[in-house]
Chain A
């Protein structure tokens, strides 16, 4: 499945890591060169144009189980953000280096698996998705590229696509495949981006590589729904019982339950090692 374009991109990412390491020496020329290179890479980073449409969320406003949610047209990164790309961002934005955040609340677990500032490991690691990044860092990365994080609705809309169909929500074989991707033993390191599958929109790795940050659109938030149903304060742990099947649009969409439960457990400071992100515009 390797394509020439990908190989070239990963080569650049590795190079970026090397230049980033040089930049650590506070060499202003290297910094500038890196900045220029990073800007070029950001500009070239593949995004996929997603047409407007709708999808059926696991939970909908008011508990209606047949209410599709409209999503406007937007663009989404074709792949999750890699460690190499994140290192370039750090080089340009020293305030997001691990050493700068050490000891602070935001620094707990931040890039904990990295060897040091800008040092994510060997060249082979440059194309792996970046993880151990809290919400604010993911947002800062995207805004540095002139982008933002996708909303949960946007993400779920695109993630409903199988390799063959844009809306595969009724496809039992696809549901089984997602479940297998979610529940297989976790490898020591996540695979390089672009290695799981490319869906019918042209977007890679939405399932089975890493979980991804999204931001909530309040009206479709499961937590908001429960806040209405059970009163304020009951919003945090609703994925924690069999009752979570009540009001779900598809009680057999087990992969979706696993995903929503994970998302529900996140706090802005989460730096889970299986959680990455991609940007939207």
Chain B
């Protein structure tokens, strides 16, 4: 934070005390410039600066080991990019960081986060970012509208721990999101998350192509299908098969697995389920309540959940949206391939010839 904005913060703080009124604080906020926005609650004092290391799904940045708040600089580049949606099917995606879902951003509760949003000069559209963890009009969207070839910046205080969706909110927001403009941001609680063996980033989203599912070639967005909420594709991590075969997630028997699971929508709610396991811990909707022994957890469009489990037996565990036709025929299917020694006490069986036949 600059000296100037720090001074302004002190000034606002003094003003609030003097007025002794919540309304006073709100008025003071209105008078400050957007990038100097000051939360009503006194944010934690920050020390130092670091640049966030971003990752593309299914990778997740390493847990934060810092025990103090800092200023985190996030450099995010919007790129409009033709990529594969399914084998032989192309789509002109609009992306945060060149991938769908967008880059994973990890900060710590109390951090001052400075978002630098760059819009590639070859892009055709203006874009911005609405981060659900941000307190303030538009969640950053109002101050981050960025034309091709430009960069915008804004700062916010990560007050609420949890797992949050970010997305583009430029009009028409549905089209920007339907083209892939969403991702996840984790605000780690001050005490951190319990250590696990594996962390993965998975995000669901649906695509409304003009051609029917499987029709090859470059596919355009079909607005009537989007209005009708009838997607041709419902996928994890931006493409059919992004988490299967060679790209399946990997772990070993007995290891703990944490999935940061988001849903970019733009329309559908996900009934997230992992075939072959019970979820030990779920933070529904990415919040701070913890649930245990969950079979299927609902993830709203524009929402997220943290799920944790520990596979006990080797084999393939299948991630699905349990609105099952989406998984079976539209793409919402991923694999966790678990290796290790068998554990017959937990699970065994198989067919034998029936007696007398």
Contact of A240 among B144, B149, B227 (CB under 8 A): B144
0 or 1 for each of A254-275: is its CB under 8 Å from B? (1 = yes):
1001101110111000101110
B148 and A273 contact, CB distance less than 8 A: yes
With A240-B128, A240-B170, A272-B149 already in contact, 17 other A-B pairs whose C-beta atoms are closer than 8 Å: A176-B210, A179-B221, A182-B124, A184-B220, A186-B122, A237-B141, A237-B145, A240-B144, A241-B138, A241-B142, A242-B173, A252-B223, A257-B172, A258-B125, A261-B125, A262-B126, A265-B146
A274 and B124 contact, CB distance less than 8 A: yes
- Whether B206 sits at the interface, judged by CB under 8 Å, is no
Contact of B171 among A175, A183, A240 (CB under 8 A): A240
Kindly state the separation between the CA atoms of A186 and B92 in the bound complex, as whole angstroms.
Answer: 9
| Distance between A143 CB and nearest chain B CB, rounded to angstroms | 26
Kindly state the separation between the CA atoms of A116 and B224 in the bound complex, as whole angstroms.
Answer: 46
- Whether A239 sits at the interface, judged by CB under 8 Å, is yes
A175 and B144 contact, CB distance less than 8 A: no
What are the residues of chain A within 8 A of B147 when measuring CB–CB?
Answer: 262, 265-266, 270, 272
Residues of chain B in range 123-176 having any CB-CB distance to chain A below 8 Å:
123-126, 128, 130, 138, 141-149, 169-175
| Distance between A275 CB and nearest chain B CB, rounded to angstroms | 9
| Distance between A55 CB and nearest chain B CB, rounded to angstroms | 19
Residues of chain B in range 35-81 having any CB-CB distance to chain A below 8 Å:
80
- Whether B196 sits at the interface, judged by CB under 8 Å, is no
Interface residues of A toward B: which range?
20 to 34
Contact of B220 among A180, A186, A241, A245 (CB under 8 A): A180
Kindly state the separation between the CA atoms of A261 and B210 in the bound complex, as whole angstroms.
Answer: 24
What are the residues of chain B within 8 A of A273 when measuring CB–CB?
Answer: 121-122, 148-149
What are the residues of chain B within 8 A of A245 when measuring CB–CB?
Answer: 171-172
- Whether B82 sits at the interface, judged by CB under 8 Å, is yes
| Distance between A82 CB and nearest chain B CB, rounded to angstroms | 20
Kindly state the separation between the CA atoms of A25 and B172 in the bound complex, as whole angstroms.
Answer: 50
Using a Cβ–Cβ cut-off of 8 Å, how many residues does chain B contribute to the interface with A? 37
B224 and A239 contact, CB distance less than 8 A: no
- Whether A236 sits at the interface, judged by CB under 8 Å, is yes
Closest to A182 in B: B124
- Whether B218 sits at the interface, judged by CB under 8 Å, is yes
Q: Can you identify 27 A-B contacts, CB atoms within 8 angstroms?
A: A172-B224, A175-B223, A185-B82, A185-B92, A186-B80, A186-B122, A211-B124, A237-B143, A237-B145, A240-B141, A240-B145, A240-B170, A240-B171, A241-B142, A254-B172, A254-B175, A257-B171, A257-B172, A257-B175, A261-B172, A265-B146, A265-B147, A272-B148, A272-B149, A273-B121, A273-B148, A274-B148
| Distance between A217 CB and nearest chain B CB, rounded to angstroms | 21
A242 and B169 contact, CB distance less than 8 A: yes
B218 and A185 contact, CB distance less than 8 A: yes
What are the residues of chain A within 8 A of B145 when measuring CB–CB?
Answer: 236-237, 239-240, 264-265
- Whether B316 sits at the interface, judged by CB under 8 Å, is no
A237 and B142 contact, CB distance less than 8 A: yes
| Distance between B300 CB and nearest chain A CB, rounded to angstroms | 15
Kindly state the separation between the CA atoms of A261 and B144 in the bound complex, as whole angstroms.
Answer: 13
Contact of A258 among B146, B175, B220 (CB under 8 A): B175
B126 and A261 contact, CB distance less than 8 A: yes
| Distance between A34 CB and nearest chain B CB, rounded to angstroms | 32
What are the residues of chain A within 8 A of B210 when measuring CB–CB?
Answer: 176, 180
Kindly state the separation between the CA atoms of A270 and B54 in the bound complex, as whole angstroms.
Answer: 30
- Known: A183-B179, A273-B121. Contact between A241 and B173, CB under 8 A? yes
| Distance between B158 CB and nearest chain A CB, rounded to angstroms | 21
- Whether B222 sits at the interface, judged by CB under 8 Å, is yes
Kindly state the separation between the CA atoms of A197 and B123 in the bound complex, as whole angstroms.
Answer: 23
- Known: A109-B149, A184-B92, A185-B82. Contact between A239 and B124, CB under 8 A? no
Kindly state the separation between the CA atoms of A176 and B175 in the bound complex, as whole angstroms.
Answer: 12
Closest to B138 in A: A241
A258 and B172 contact, CB distance less than 8 A: yes
What are the residues of chain B within 8 A of A265 when measuring CB–CB?
Answer: 126, 145-147
B92 and A241 contact, CB distance less than 8 A: no
Most chain B beta-carbon contacts within 10 A, residue among A180, A242, A244: A242
